[in-house]
Amino acid sequence: MVVKEKFYTCGKLMLNSVYSYYSMICMSESENNAVQLKGELSAPRWSVISFERREASGLTYKEAARRLRELDGQSVPGLCVVTDEAAERIVN
């Protein structure tokens, strides 16, 4: 399974093959692990942060990547996709 969605983290574009790599790992692991990984990416547990604040939270990874692209287009500095838990620690 190859997904065309581009992954972002800390403002840097990760290769499209990252998802393919995780898919291969999941195929070699048990079916429960594959469901868990897919569940983590689709769970509303991701935040977009910048140097100044938490820009958005409670997003799926795909929504967070989309929001990051929107903010990057507005030249917001220091963008990064992290879990809501990590964003909470950074913001406080």
Alpha carbons 6 and 14: distance in angstroms, whole number: 7
Alpha carbons 77 and 7: distance in angstroms, whole number: 18
Widest distance between CA atoms in the chain: 42
pLDDT tens digit string along 70-80? 999 999 999 99
Alpha carbons 65 and 9: distance in angstroms, whole number: 8
pLDDT tens digit string along 34-83? 566 677 889 999 999 999 999 999 999 999 999 999 999 999 999 999 99
Q: CB atoms < 10 A from the CB of 29, how many?
A: 12
